[in-house]
């Protein structure tokens, strides 16, 4: 199924004027020396007015107006000064950071590999070699023979500060591999084509690729989504191998800049499906994959608030849509009459249908029932009679994995829980049996019997019951007593709460570094995610956005009341839109938290939503509201925007991260927020800002670099909770 809903997380950041005054007051000219106090950003007079409301924004200058080029020396000096202060503050805890990194790394099988999966005549898999930062990709003939190395990320990343593999697309014949890479973190990928018979790269090179690489026309051409100057994907283009990129054909062009375009193949790979949509509205077209420049067939014209996605099998369209029920239904139509939808599976208040996948002799529906993942096998003759796949635990996360073959009798699945490591299963459809192929190995040792997981509910202030998943050691009380900690001990609370993303109650090896020291670790399934169905998501967006923040605060308060932790012993973290959450909860209830970590936080919400030139802003108005045209949206966003709501009060210790090349939440959002916090907060608690100078939204690349950043985060939390083990 091709889902036209863009995979957007939080939007990027802020606005307004510039001048040439010095960037940093009362701080250090020489950043090679060790700072003894945090930098203080200069306040420069700046304000703007919308809907008769004037807003003062004295840190607007931190937004380099030459963005995406960032060359303002004042801005760079300030960011570097904050980094120097971060390094100075964390240096005394370097041994703890290193110890955490060492134990986290010891839980990872360094020479690990994925389970081979068949596509066509080959089995494909990837491997990490011991010590390597990146993967190698292999294949071998199903009939037998030697393994063939088809791509080595380590070789591609050699000498680079940042590297990320984007699309990875094998042609139907198996001869070609098209892949894309990002070497700055700016999410502007370059695509190339490798001939797997000769091992050589073709001359073709496609710059500024944003989404997918889809093979069509008997492996002679690729369909891709280019990125425009504002990181928006408004076209589906066709590149024919061996022709200049300048001659690439635009198959579809979207006129609405709030929409985003994507493309993929149908189940039998005979149709190219091109979808466009924003966060609440969809429109889909299709054409023969053998003749991609032919006329596109529109499935159904866009209707605001109606989402749908399409797959095609044996001349029938299958349509996943919310047109009749908030939790979606599955419908079908003929290829000749694509807009005439007949219900196959009706929408349900109990079962939230999230996905489907078509195979030759059966199809699979995925969804959630009472917040728990469901995978169901269904036949085309009797589609309402679901054969559910049963899993061994009461709380878990599970779903289809990579199943590239249309004619399959065995399905590849993934499964894990908060105490069960990531597991790969094959499910024999005819025998209705699960076979475990691989479970994540933890070389340093892991005994699941030492841990307990539970799911509780906490009542939010409006009476809504919010689920919370928790994991902790069974001997937690003894661990805390040995550490000299009285009372129920610390609890780390995590959530995201936006875009309908449900944080799964899955397994984490890094989390054990807190849990084994006596922390309880909790995931709050707050509104804004779709954990309990589509309505759960809608109750946390637009003019109900503050439900998300209230749910998190109330979840922490409820866990204190239930005896899991105590006042000031809750630590919290979140990233991107979850970073916005962190900004809102410390404004609302700072006393609850002993430490807060906000990764690439979307905290300057009002300025970002007012700046339609920023990469993601037009596509985000359906999530947050459009304050440019809507006075009510302006006032509502202003009422919770973390940057705008910073006030003179005590704040908890905080660690904030950013990426200089981040196109989603640009560096100046966290920079401005930290600057304002430093100016007005009334406490002496630690406030740190770390900006990755060569990375983007996801932080550093490479598995060990990323792991070290997690070790830094946990060292900060343990430091603030007085649990470093240091004298």
Give me the mean pLDDT over the 635-639 stretch: 98
The pLDDT-based confidence of 300 (bands split at 50, 70, 90) is very high
Q: What is the pLDDT of residue 567?
A: 95
Q: Which of 278, 644, 662, 701 is catalytic?
A: 662
Percent of the chain residues topping a pLDDT of 70: 94
Q: Which among 236, 296, 286, 238 has a CA at the least distance from the CA of 260?
A: 236
Q: What is the pLDDT of residue 86?
A: 97
pLDDT at 2 over 90: no
Helix (H) or strand (E) holding 317: strand 316-321
Domain boundary assignment for the chain: 169-254, 266-342
Give me the mean pLDDT over the 492-497 stretch: 98
Q: What is the pLDDT of residue 7?
A: 35
pLDDT at 61 over 60: yes
State the Cα–Cα distance between residues 93 and 98, nearest whole angstrom.
9
Between β-strands 491-494 and 570-575, what pairing exists: parallel, antiparallel or unpaired? Answer: parallel
pLDDT at 31 over 50: no
Q: What is the pLDDT of residue 727?
A: 53
Q: Are 168 and 137 in contact (CB under 8 A)?
A: yes
pLDDT at 670 over 60: yes
The pLDDT-based confidence of 363 (bands split at 50, 70, 90) is very high
The pLDDT-based confidence of 187 (bands split at 50, 70, 90) is confident
The pLDDT-based confidence of 704 (bands split at 50, 70, 90) is confident
The pLDDT-based confidence of 665 (bands split at 50, 70, 90) is confident
Q: What is the pTM of this model?
A: 0.89
pLDDT at 12 over 60: no
Is 662 a residue of the active site? yes
Q: What is the pLDDT of residue 196?
A: 97
Q: What is the pLDDT of residue 22?
A: 31
Average the pLDDT over each of 18-22, 141-145, 685-689 and give the range with the smallest value. 18-22
Q: What is the pLDDT of residue 9?
A: 29
Residues 108-141 pLDDT 10s: 999 999 999 999 999 999 999 998 989 999 999 9
Give me the mean pLDDT over the 310-333 stretch: 97
Is 576 a residue of the active site? yes
Beta-bridged to residue 239, according to DSSP, are 222
Q: Output the CA torsion sign for 512, 553, 456, 386.
A: negative
- How far are the Cα atoms of 30, 566, 713 from residue 689, in angstroms, in the given order? 18, 27, 12
Beta-bridged to residue 240, according to DSSP, are 221
The pLDDT-based confidence of 392 (bands split at 50, 70, 90) is confident
Residues 526-562 pLDDT 10s: 999 999 999 999 999 999 999 999 999 999 999 999 9
- Is the preceding peptide bond at 303 cis, omega within 30 degrees of 0? no
pLDDT at 8 over 50: no
pLDDT at 186 over 90: no
Average the pLDDT over each of 52-66, 219-233, 317-331, 462-476 and give the range with the smallest value. 219-233
pLDDT at 378 over 80: yes
Question: Under 8 Å CB-to-CB from 516, ≥6 apart: which residues?
Answer: 473, 479
Q: Which of 60, 74, 697, 701 is catalytic?
A: 697
Is 697 a residue of the active site? yes
What integer best gives the mean pLDDT of the chain?
92
State the Cα–Cα distance between residues 541 and 559, nearest whole angstrom.
25
Q: What is the pLDDT of residue 277?
A: 94
pLDDT at 25 over 80: no
State the Cα–Cα distance between residues 23 and 477, nearest whole angstrom.
49
Q: Which of 576, 641, 644, 701 is catalytic?
A: 576
**DSSP-assigned states of every residue in 44-96:** ---EEEETTEEEE-TTGGGS-TTTTS---HHHHHHHHHHHHHHHHHHGGGHHH
Question: Could you tell me where the beta strands, DSSP code E, fall in 325-396?
Answer: 329-334, 342-345, 351-358, 363-369, 372-378, 387-388
Joined together, the tokens standing for residue 591 give: 């006393």
Q: Are 471 and 520 in contact (CB under 8 A)?
A: yes
Residues 407-452 pLDDT 10s: 999 999 999 999 999 999 999 999 999 999 999 999 999 999 999 9
Q: What is the pLDDT of residue 616?
A: 78
Q: Are 424 and 437 in contact (CB under 8 A)?
A: yes
């Amino acid at each position: 199924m091709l889902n036209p809903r863009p995979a957007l997380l939080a939007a990027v950041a802020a606005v307004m004027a510039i001048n040439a005054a010095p960037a940093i007051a009362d701080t250090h000219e020489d950043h090679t020396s060790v700072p003894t106090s945090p930098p203080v950003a200069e306040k420069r007079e700046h304000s703007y007015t919308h809907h008769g409301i004037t807003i003062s924004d004295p840190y607007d200058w931190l937004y380099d107006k030459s963005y995406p080029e960032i060359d303002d020396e004042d801005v760079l000096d300030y960011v570097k000064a904050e980094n120097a202060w971060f390094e100075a503050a964390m240096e005394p805890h370097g041994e703890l950071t290193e110890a955490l990194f060492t134990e986290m790394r010891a839980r990872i099988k360094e020479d690990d590999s994925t389970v081979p999966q068949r596509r066509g005549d080959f089995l494909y898999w990837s491997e990490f070699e011991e010590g390597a930062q990146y993967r190698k990709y292999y294949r071998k003939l199903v009939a037998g023979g030697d393994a063939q190395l088809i791509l080595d990320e380590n070789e591609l990343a050699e000498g680079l500060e940042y590297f990320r593999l984007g699309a990875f697309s094998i042609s139907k014949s198996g001869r070609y591999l098209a892949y894309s890479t990002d070497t700055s973190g700016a999410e502007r990928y370059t695509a190339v084509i490798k001939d797997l018979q000769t091992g050589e790269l073709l001359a073709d090179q496609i710059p500024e690729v944003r989404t997918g690489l889809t093979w069509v026309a008997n492996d002679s051409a690729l369909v891709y989504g280019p990125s425009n100057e504002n990181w928006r994907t408004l076209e589906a283009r066709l590149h024919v191998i061996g022709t200049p990129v300048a001659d690439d054909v635009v198959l579809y062009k979207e006129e609405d800049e709030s929409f985003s375009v994507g493309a993929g193949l149908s189940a039998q790979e005979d149709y190219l499906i091109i979808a466009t949509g924003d966060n609440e509205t969809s429109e889909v077209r299709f054409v023969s994959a053998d003749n991609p420049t032919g006329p596109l067939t529109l499935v159904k014209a866009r209707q605001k608030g109606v989402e749908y996605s399409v797959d095609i099998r044996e001349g029938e369209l299958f349509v996943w849509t919310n047109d009749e029920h908030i939790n979606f239904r599955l419908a079908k139509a003929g290829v000749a009459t694509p807009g005439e939808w007949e219900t196959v599976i009706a929408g349900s208040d109990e079962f939230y249908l999230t996905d489907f996948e078509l195979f030759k002799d059966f199809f699979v529906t995925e969804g959630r029932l009472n917040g728990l993942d469901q995978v169901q096998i269904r036949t085309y003759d009797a589609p309402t009679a679901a054969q559910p796949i049963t899993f061994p635990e009461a709380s878990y996360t599970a779903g289809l994995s990579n199943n590239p073959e249309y004619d399959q009798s065995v399905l590849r699945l993934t499964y894990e829980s908060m105490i069960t490591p990531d597991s790969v299963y094959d499910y024999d459809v005819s025998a209705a049996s699960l076979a475990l192929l691989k479970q994540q190995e933890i070389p340093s040792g892991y005994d699941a019997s030492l841990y307990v997981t539970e799911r509780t509910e906490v009542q939010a202030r409006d009476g809504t019951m919010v689920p919370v998943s928790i994991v902790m050691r069974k001997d937690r009380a003894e661990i805390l007593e040995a550490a000299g900690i009285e009372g129920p001990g610390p609890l780390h609370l995590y959530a995201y709460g936006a875009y309908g993303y449900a944080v799964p109650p899955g397994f984490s090896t890094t989390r054990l570094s807190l849990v084994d020291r006596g922390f309880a670790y909790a995931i709050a399934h707050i509104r804004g995610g779709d954990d309990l169905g589509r309505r759960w998501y809608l109750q946390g967006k637009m003019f109900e956005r503050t439900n998300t923040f209230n749910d998190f605060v109330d979840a922490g308060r409820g866990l204190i009341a239930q005896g899991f932790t105590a006042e000031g012993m809750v630590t919290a973290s979140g990233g991107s839109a979850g970073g916005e959450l962190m900004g809102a909860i410390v404004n609302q209830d700072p006393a609850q938290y002993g430490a807060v970590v906000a990764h690439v936080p979307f905290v300057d919400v009002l300025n970002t939503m007012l700046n339609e030139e920023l990469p993601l802003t037009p596509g985000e108005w359906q999530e947050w509201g459009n304050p440019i045209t809507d006075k009510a949206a302006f006032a509502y966003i202003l009422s919770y925007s973390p940057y705008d709501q910073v006030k003179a009060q005590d704040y908890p210790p905080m660690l904030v991260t950013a990426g200089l090349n981040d196109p989603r939440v640009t560096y100046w959002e966290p920079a401005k927020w930290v600057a304002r916090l430093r100016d007005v907060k009334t406490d002496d608690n630690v406030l740190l800002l770390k900006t990755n100078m060569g990375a983007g939204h996801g932080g550093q690349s490479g598995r060990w670099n990323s792991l070290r950043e997690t070790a830094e985060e946990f060292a900060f939390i343990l430091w603030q909770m007085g649990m470093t083990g240091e004298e």
